Copies of this chain bind each other. A is one copy, B any other.
């Protein structure tokens, strides 16, 4: 089984790692669109176009399933990709909402990028599955640049936590969905900010569990596979290499640069 995973940048490596743990023998292909990151502050039509190009690139490498490891792309593009592609497509949003249903919920908070919150996909998914639960959605656009600049503690982070989360802390949430793959890097800060009293849902673990559950039922799990990892990025690989070494500790993955995603031929679209 070969699974393609894409993200606007490197935050989706949290999803990649969870998938690797859940499916140790699958071939996993990761594409980070680092030359055009971030997606969360861009327009819907642009995000849809970029998501299609990422999917096309991975499809041209004979994948059996696609995982959208970017919440912004999951919010904007999953319906179109599911309709257009002849293979199973998984996104982070339904997975994270499904995961949040496992516990008791009086009120659920969602934090994510501007584009994800504006599209309302989390809000709709919760309204369908948990119609009586109060939902508070908050766009937190500064968390991504904080993570990308390695600011995981200190006064700037504290002030930003207050800016975005003070309102949510007052509401005494039962559950908070981390609706962006960068946010797990801030998990310790969130735990502290909410005094450990809010259940934090990490969409990386949630989508990995959903993918593993769905795909182990399928006949292609018997296909010969090597447990290979392939990494592709659209910007130069140096920053990927650095971050991935920190992130995967022992492993030393190397990324291949793909300059123009738009020039790759679609498959099945």
Contacts and interface: CB of A to CB of B under 8 A. Distances in A.
A235 B43 contact: yes
A146 B155 contact: no
A254 B149 CA distance: 34
A137 to B, nearest CB: 17
Interface string A144-161: 111011010011101110
Q: How many copies of this chain are found per oligomer? A: 2
Interface in A51-93: none
Contacts of A146: 142
Contacts of A149: 141-142
A252 to B, nearest CB: 20
A236 B142 CA distance: 21
Counting chain B CB atoms within 10 Å of each CB, the highest count among A146, A149, A151, A262 belongs to A149
A186 to B, nearest CB: 15
B42 A35 contact: yes
A155 B145 contact: no
Given A46-B236, A238-B43, A145 B156 contact: no
A260 B236 CA distance: 20
A72 to B, nearest CB: 13
A145 to B, nearest CB: 4
A43 B239 contact: yes
Interface of A: 34-36, 41-46, 49, 141-142, 144-146, 148-149, 151, 154-156, 158-160, 162-163, 234-236, 238-239, 259-260, 262
10 contacts: A35-B46, A43-B238, A46-B236, A49-B259, A141-B145, A141-B149, A142-B145, A144-B145, A155-B162, A262-B262
